[in-house]
Amino acid sequence: MKAIDLVHSFHIPGGAMETTNPIQEWLNTPIPKKLWHYTSVEGFYGITTGRDIYATDFRFLNDREEFIHARKIIEELVEGTPEDANGIKVRRTLQSVINAAFSPSTGIIHPDHTHFYVASFSAAEDQLSQWRGYSHGSSGVSLCLDLNSFRGPSNVGGLVSFAPCAYDPLKKRELIHHALGHSLISNSSQLDRNQVVDAVAKTVFDLQRILALLKNSAFHEEQEWRLVFSVSASNETKLNLRLFRAANTTLVPYVRYSFSSNPDTPIPLNDLILGPSSDEHAIFAAKSFLETQGIKITPRPSNVPYRPS
């Protein structure tokens, strides 16, 4: 978008108003019947017996630009707006809101104050890059899950989103643009203090829901869907949510997110693929194990002709 087109479509008093909510539409994207979770054999065992998924602290994911990428887009978008429009200090207003939201001392979106956890799924079945990246050298498994009820209420005391990642630059700008638009209302002399506070809070709320969904286009092949759970640091401590697991070079913080409110319900598994480098007896072992968990499906081998060096 050109700068003048962008600012005229914000929620500016006297300007054009948006008639749709692209953030809500994106977060309510219909969930595919099949979503895949690539993991190690150890992860497969833990998910199946624990009947939950691990959502990892975003700072320990494999994309080193998590949130940094989104912040760059925000800054570029703000810089592209004019200084003034309809009597409103557009750029100054937006920049002050963003600085406050990401402030290390008090910013709600700063990771010192709100912790973001992510569990990843993929619409891509039996994909080599996923095997290599997430299944312990391609010897793991890919779980095909029915997650149509996964948007239900969380029992972990935080804000939860479940939606596809956005890779397209125009879509990412559209989502951020909508979130920032709330704050321009706050610069109107027609509003009282409570209305101003509410308008800025809407911007922060929308950003909190979408930031972890904005991915660099280099990752588009993954066709990723994300469960994003965010919780204030103080609430997390109070509820004692944070757990840790050992990785090669560090401890990794995570939280558990249940597939069902009933702890005795098996995970919603409807297919399972074993990685290209699996043991020759892995299908027998996986099928036998699933039977002990009340799941009657027959695992199948990957069709990817990959042999790790």
Tell me, what's the pLDDT at 10?
43
3-state SS, 142-185, equals EEEECCCCCCCCCCCCCEEEEEECECCHHHHHHHHHHHHHHHHH
Q: What tens digit of pLDDT does each residue of 165-208 get?
A: 999 999 999 999 999 888 776 555 554 567 667 778 888 899 99
Mean pLDDT of the chain: 84
* Rounded-to-5 percentages of helix, strand, coil across the chain: 40, 20, 40
User: Is residue 226's pLDDT more than 60?
Assistant: yes
Alpha-carbon distances, residue 107 vs 18, 78, 96, 103 (angstroms): 27, 18, 11, 4
Nearest alpha carbon to residue 179 among 224, 210, 220, 146: 210
Radius of gyration of the chain (CA): 22
Nearest alpha carbon to residue 188 among 81, 60, 86: 86
User: Is residue 236's pLDDT more than 60?
Assistant: yes
One-letter amino acid at 62 equals N
pTM attached to this predicted model: 0.86
User: Is residue 283's pLDDT more than 50?
Assistant: yes
Mean of pLDDT values over 222-245: 87
**Locate tokens 């065992």: which residue?**
45
User: Is residue 14's pLDDT more than 70?
Assistant: no
